[in-house]
């Protein structure tokens, strides 16, 4: 199984990203009575508890980590896990107001700016990990982006460009901050995986983020931070913690350990792809939104592009140093 995952690691990154979209199946039952910060806090706590059986192994690995490894793991937890989630959730509140109709201009803006994540990821991979891309990587990355674009905007591909001028600047800044932090999480995760196992990397992502999420929840909601919970919410919490949380992140970091960050950040476009395809399923699984022809075309294009990236991965589509290293002043750029 390990050999299979190593050979198709890029596809497993995409699969893990697609599993993140199942969050949309479990979350609606919780958002009726709980704030997003409360849901994220409980989800993070449940996932952290799942790593208790692996605690002896995790402690042994942490004992030999360098300061840079600790900084990378801390940045993943604080940025990609805690603050990025808060920023993106806040940006969606402008697109989907609680007591009003969806703000389509801001919704288009949010999803259009989300597609910038690979650009951030590729840039950071070059600066931090010194990954150098072959020319045909850019064609495959552009193909993947075009596929996701058709999935997100199937009815009128020009809609975001005609409505983005009406979007709110604050929503744009929030989503830009979120996608930058997610992209940095991919790059720093690839860096940390050179010295630590995928189990420990995933465990520290959630464990280190837990106190930060607790502070953010209490700061934003005060005494109401611990109200609204009921035993009937447990199945939804377990589902959201185990599938898009624990299972997806373990699979993601296992695959990322054998995938250059530049490829991984493109493969993660499977998340918006799976999310919109999930919306097309009939209730209660999805929203019953009709599946457009362009969405099918876009999904085929994305799968083809990610598969091609996996096939050329061993043909040196990207040059990566054997041991990723953070750049420091005075380092020679390869």
What whole-number distance in Å separates Cα of residue 191 and Cα of residue 236?
Answer: 33
Residue 324, pLDDT score: 46
Average of pLDDT values for 230-246? Answer: 93
More confident residue, 265 or 24: 265
> Is residue 328 in some structural domain?
no
Reported as a single tens digit per residue, the pLDDT across 13-51 is 999 999 998 887 887 788 778 887 888 899 999 999 999
Whether 110 contacts 171, CB under 8 Å: yes
Write phi, then psi, for 138 (nearest 5 degrees).
Answer: -65, -35
Cα-atom radius of gyration of the chain, to the nearest Å? 20
DSSP class of residue 82 equals I
Reported as a single tens digit per residue, the pLDDT across 80-92 is 998 888 787 776 6
Tokens describing residue 236: 């939804």
Residue 334, pLDDT score: 32
Identify which of 185, 170, 131, 117 has the alpha carbon closest to the alpha carbon of residue 323: 131
What whole-number distance in Å separates Cα of residue 15 and Cα of residue 268?
Answer: 9
Neighbours of 92 (CB within 10 A): 19
> Is residue 331 in some structural domain?
no
Handedness of CA 20, 317, 115, 280 (dihedral sign): negative
More confident residue, 24 or 97: 24
> Is residue 220 in some structural domain?
yes
C-beta pairs of 152-161 under 8 Å, 24+ apart in sequence: 152/111, 152/112, 152/115, 152/272, 152/276, 153/108, 153/111, 154/292, 154/293, 154/294, 154/295, 154/298, 155/292, 155/294, 157/294, 159/108, 160/108, 160/109, 160/111, 160/112
% pLDDT > 70, the chain: 80
pTM: 0.84
Beta bridge partner(s), residue 133: 318
Whether the predicted pLDDT of 52 surpasses 60 = yes
Whether 28 contacts 279, CB under 8 Å: no
Buried b (16+ CB within 10 A) or exposed e, 134-173: eeebeebbebbbbbbbbbbbbeeeebbeebeeebeeebbe
> Is residue 166 in some structural domain?
yes
C-alpha angle 114/120/122, rounded to 5°? 125
Q: Which helix (H) or strand (E) holds 318?
A: strand 318-319
More confident residue, 158 or 45: 45
Whether the predicted pLDDT of 166 surpasses 80 = no
| Omega before 284 within 30 of 0, i.e. cis | yes
Average of pLDDT values for 203-232? Answer: 90
Residue 104, pLDDT score: 45
Q: Is 65 helix (H, G, I), strand (E, B) or coil?
A: coil
Residue 62, pLDDT score: 93
Average of pLDDT values for 294-310? Answer: 87
Average pLDDT, the chain: 82
> Is residue 333 in some structural domain?
no
Whether 148 contacts 115, CB under 8 Å: yes
Average of pLDDT values for 53-77? Answer: 94
Whether the predicted pLDDT of 319 surpasses 90 = no
> Is residue 164 in some structural domain?
yes
Residue 168, pLDDT score: 60
Whether the predicted pLDDT of 285 surpasses 70 = no
> Is residue 324 in some structural domain?
no
Instruction: Look up the domain containing 57 and give its range.
Output: 2-319
Tokens describing residue 80: 């990609």
Average of pLDDT values for 196-222? Answer: 93
Least confident of 125-129, 132-136, 189-193, 287-291: 287-291
Whether 282 contacts 30, CB under 8 Å: no
Residue 110, pLDDT score: 62
> Is residue 330 in some structural domain?
no
Beta bridge partner(s), residue 132: 319
Q: Tell the residue number behind the tokens 């750029």, with chain if given.
A: 333
Least confident of 4-8, 92-96, 300-304: 92-96
Reported as a single tens digit per residue, the pLDDT across 186-199 is 999 999 999 999 99
Whether the predicted pLDDT of 11 surpasses 60 = yes
Residue 186, pLDDT score: 95
How many domains does one find in the chain? 1
Q: Tell the residue number behind the tokens 């493969």, with chain if given.
A: 267
């Amino acid at each position: 199984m390990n050999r299979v995952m190593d050979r198709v690691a890029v596809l497993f990154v995409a699969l893990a990203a697609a599993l993140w979209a199942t969050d949309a199946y479990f979350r609606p039952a919780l958002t009726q009575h709980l704030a997003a910060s409360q849901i994220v806090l409980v989800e993070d706590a449940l996932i952290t508890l799942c790593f208790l059986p692996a605690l002896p192994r995790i402690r042994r690995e942490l004992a030999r980590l360098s300061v840079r490894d600790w900084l990378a793991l801390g940045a993943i937890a604080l940025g990609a896990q805690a603050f990025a989630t808060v920023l993106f959730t806040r940006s969606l509140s402008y697109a989907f107001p609680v007591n009003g109709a969806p703000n389509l201009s801001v919704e288009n803006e949010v999803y259009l700016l989300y597609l910038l994540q690979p650009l951030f990821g590729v840039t950071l991979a070059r600066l931090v990990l010194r990954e150098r891309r072959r020319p045909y990587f850019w064609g495959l990355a552009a193909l993947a982006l075009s596929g996701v674009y058709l999935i997100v905007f199937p009815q009128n591909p020009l809609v975001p460009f005609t409505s983005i001028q009406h979007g709110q600047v604050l929503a744009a800044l929030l989503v830009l901050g979120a996608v930058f932090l997610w992209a940095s999480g991919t790059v720093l995760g690839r860096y940390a995986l050179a010295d630590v196992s995928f189990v420990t990397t995933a465990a520290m992502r959630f464990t280190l983020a837990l106190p930060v999420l607790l502070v953010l929840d209490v700061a934003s909601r005060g005494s109401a931070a611990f109200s609204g919970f009921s035993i009937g919410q447990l199945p939804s919490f377990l589902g959201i913690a185990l599938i898009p949380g624990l299972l997806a992140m373990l699979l993601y970091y296992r695959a990322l350990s054998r995938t250059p960050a530049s490829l991984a950040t493109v493969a993660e476009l499977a998340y918006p792809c799976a999310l919109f395809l999930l919306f097309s399923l009939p209730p209660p699984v999805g929203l019953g939104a009709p599946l457009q022809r362009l969405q099918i075309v876009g999904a085929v294009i994305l799968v083809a592009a990610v598969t091609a990236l996996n096939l050329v991965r061993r043909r040196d589509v990207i040059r990566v140093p054997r041991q990723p290293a953070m750049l420091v002043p005075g380092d020679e750029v390869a």
